[in-house]
Structure 1
């Protein structure tokens, strides 16, 4: 990747809680979720070129790749030239951690800077939303309360949390998970929570444990026979709470400190050798990240 002048980390995310509020008449589900980027990331490197080229996992080398689609969108709207991309993938595919969406956001930002388009979040967010509901989140990559289909974002002062992730080694179809919920068009099943997002006490670990819930587990469970096995493995090894992230297939647990998370990762990795197990942290809020905290 040394021959590429622009390099970026494309971070994964977890949903610390996720509620399905209903289903719109256009078929999209209305959500309320606390999204947090975590320290697991893909490595991406970019350079300008005469055309689009991709060096990475072969199964991603196609026009459906969100990296390609992000470049294509900028080319269509701003007439940019080609893009050379090198991709080292670490985030499990289809794991409910937004790896593809994060890659798309990184590509939008990188290409815009390489071609000196002078585009900020305000200009890139509408393009990002065309690629996926959670792509705008990854443009800023800071903890946020997401509503709507995931595009209505409010930053939250979430301090870094210690997390263990278990990925079973297979992906889950997001549309299939939502279909399994069985909500009819226009259905409204819950109201948004009354959160004061600037209240720092709200986002402390003790309260996060109370909030930890995911409505999508109902839809994912028929597709994930080992869902409860993974959750139980985390809880038996010190997790204060454990839930599915997004639509799956990754399950996470929150821990009190780094030492207990690392110890749990080692024990779970030994007990579940076919799974990928990671000890990570959520990333700090954007203002803290810029301050070097």
Structure 2
């Protein structure tokens, strides 16, 4: 059985305060996009993980997909499986690709072996794998708070808008990003601003990591400016970086390129 774990973008990201557990309290809109990996799981004589496509750092036996399988095997009798992941979503891009792979592994094993795990329980399993993993269980626009793993409903529908995502071949670690960002109370209520037209977001919907990372990585503000030059209604870095996205009107049809670079660009419809 094959599924296609998709990426996400953060539309606004406020780092509000430090937590006693060492994490940060956040608030952000998580929105799914269709830049996808491909994940296949089949019964096998022994459990193993293989991959193709983009190179995945770390040892194969410590991949999040295997961790997701092992997590379910603690509570359910499962056969051995072969997990194969074809990696397309850039790593260290702030798009949640690894989290999506883990969450889709949980969902696929649940379906493949008819475990009948409730959605809320799948989300709890996912939370133990990573802060934003649980988002990909229901995979719909939400407002995330606390560590980014507690979700509140959000009435935001961008269906039909065009999106362009550019990854500048730059892997920014989560540790580095959080080391540089300074928690602060937001000036405006993000929920309220997101209810306004996309064309009003430009100077109001902010990602706090931009202020922290743009001085060290000048390519990031350059990409953001490029997207605005090409007509984006709204542009931002996503997550803690380093991918930058632009949201364009539904009638935008120009195919964007970055002459002189080999930056991966994904363009599609939200």
- Check 1:140–1:272 CA distance in 2 against 1; reply closer, same or farther (3 A cut): farther
Query: Contact conserved, 1:158 with 1:204, CA < 8 A, in 2?
Result: no
Q: What is the alpha-carbon distance in structure 2 between the residues aligned to residue 71 and residue 191 of structure 1?
A: 42
Q: What is the alpha-carbon distance in structure 2 between the residues aligned to residue 8 and residue 70 of structure 1?
A: 15
Q: What is the alpha-carbon distance in structure 1 between the residues aligned to residue 105 and residue 11 of structure 2?
A: 26
Q: Which residue of 2 aligns with 1:221?
A: 214
Q: Which residue of 2 aligns with 1:9?
A: 4
- Check 1:168–1:194 CA distance in 2 against 1; reply closer, same or farther (3 A cut): closer
Q: What is the alpha-carbon distance in structure 2 between the residues aligned to residue 179 and residue 195 of structure 1?
A: 26
Q: What is the alpha-carbon distance in structure 2 between the residues aligned to residue 194 and residue 255 of structure 1?
A: 20
SS at match of 1:78: coil
1:271-286 paired onto structure 2 within 5 Å = 271-282=259-270
Query: Contact conserved, 2:188 with 2:204, CA < 8 A, in 1?
Result: no
Decide which moves more: 147-156 or 28-37. Answer: 147-156
- Unaligned segments of structure 2, at least 5 residues: none
Query: Contact conserved, 2:50 with 2:60, CA < 8 A, in 1?
Result: no
Structure-2-length-normalised TM-score: 0.89
Q: 1:210: Cα distance to partner?
A: 5.6
Q: 1:250: Cα distance to partner?
A: 0.0
- Check 1:74–1:238 CA distance in 2 against 1; reply closer, same or farther (3 A cut): same
Q: 1:29: Cα distance to partner?
A: 0.6
- Unaligned segments of structure 1, at least 5 residues: 1-5, 283-293
Q: Which residue of 1 aligns with 2:96?
A: 98
Which of 235, 239, 242 is the aligned partner of 1:242? 235
- Check 1:39–1:208 CA distance in 2 against 1; reply closer, same or farther (3 A cut): farther
Q: What is the alpha-carbon distance in structure 1 between the residues aligned to residue 219 and residue 114 of structure 2?
A: 47
- Are positions 1:193 and 2:189 aligned together? yes
Q: Which residue of 1 aligns with 2:43?
A: 48
Q: CA RMSD in A?
A: 2.3
Q: What is the alpha-carbon distance in structure 2 between the residues aligned to residue 107 and residue 211 of structure 1?
A: 36
Query: Which is richer in helix?
Result: 1
Q: Which residue of 2 aligns with 1:291?
A: none
Q: What is the alpha-carbon distance in structure 2 between the residues aligned to residue 72 and residue 123 of structure 1?
A: 16
SS at match of 2:40: strand
Q: What is the alpha-carbon distance in structure 1 between the residues aligned to residue 138 and residue 219 of structure 2?
A: 33
SS at match of 1:127: helix
Query: Contact conserved, 2:12 with 2:29, CA < 8 A, in 1?
Result: yes
Q: Which residue of 2 aligns with 1:24?
A: 19
Q: What is the alpha-carbon distance in structure 2 between the residues aligned to residue 80 and residue 222 of structure 1?
A: 49
After superposition, the C-alpha distances for 1:60-107 in whole angstroms (9 at most, x for unaligned) are: 551331111111111122232222122221111111000000000000
Structure-1-length-normalised TM-score: 0.83
Question: Alignment length, in residue pairs?
Answer: 265
Q: Which residue of 1 aligns with 2:168?
A: 168
- Are positions 1:150 and 2:148 aligned together? yes
Q: What is the alpha-carbon distance in structure 1 between the residues aligned to residue 216 and residue 45 of structure 2?
A: 43
Q: 1:206: Cα distance to partner?
A: 3.3
